[in-house]
Amino acid sequence: MERIEHRASSGGWQDVYRHESKVLGCTMNFAAYLPPQAKDGKLPVVYWLSGLTCTEQNFITKAGAQRYAAEHGIIVVAPDTSPRGDDVADAEGYDIGKGAGFYVNATQAPWSRNYRMFDYVVDELPALVESELPASDRRSIFGHSMGGHGALVIALRNPGRYRSVSAFSPIVAPSHVPWGQKAFGAYLGDDREAWKAWDTVELLGTAKEKLPLLVDQGDADEFLGRELKPELLQAAAEKAGHPLTLRMQPGYDHSYYFIASFVGDHLAHHARALLR
């Protein structure tokens, strides 16, 4: 693991690391904010998953999360959104291929060779973080849009692994919206039954752990009715008796202005669970 960026921020350090991923078969970057408390011992970690077209850079440069992480004494880790490199499969458009891994394990060629972001985020990345950084095995997870989908699915599919979960503008029913249908058709094939294992709305009905969900959604989001459909999440949570706090935020869109406005609330939500 090689540190390629090292910048002072809110009393701690915003770093970026590069490593060879065995799971993805390529070189990957991830960002890690180490608050000032990290010099005194191991701290819990919140994993952030970004949305379509993003890298590890978007969150660390736009969200303003460092000061909240320093306040609570938690590490924030933000991986890239897909495998990268000249030998990694790609496609035209922003919503499939590089920058659009959708946090699934692809089963279809040519994607199955590298696109295993689920295994990377759940297993390989935390193992690396916990062995090489002052990080404990207390974990939480959150994300935005495609990353919100990833955070919710990963938490629901791994009961007991995360202390808390939240999302901004998540794609909650990818099996039923254009972004998800395009990606799932490519990565997972035509069997829509197989898609259900990667769909938050479908997973809520069989969830073995009732980890409370915190979701913020802007009511001026340009993707609200076509791609995000939070009403489907609300209906599924009510049917399953799954705790959900869905906050519709007036006037906010899909941008990082929205994320920066409420990221402090989300990190406080995770800190309460991680430091309990």
- E-strand stretches of 38-181: 43-49, 75-79, 135-144, 165-168
- E-strand stretches of the chain: 2-9, 12-21, 26-34, 43-49, 75-79, 135-144, 165-168, 213-218, 244-249
Residues identified as active-site? 145, 221, 254
Strand order in the sheet with 2-9: 2-9, 12-21, 26-34, 75-79, 43-49, 135-144, 165-168, 213-218, 244-249
- The two beta strands, 75-79 and 26-34, are antiparallel
Dist CA 10 CA 23 (whole Å) = 33
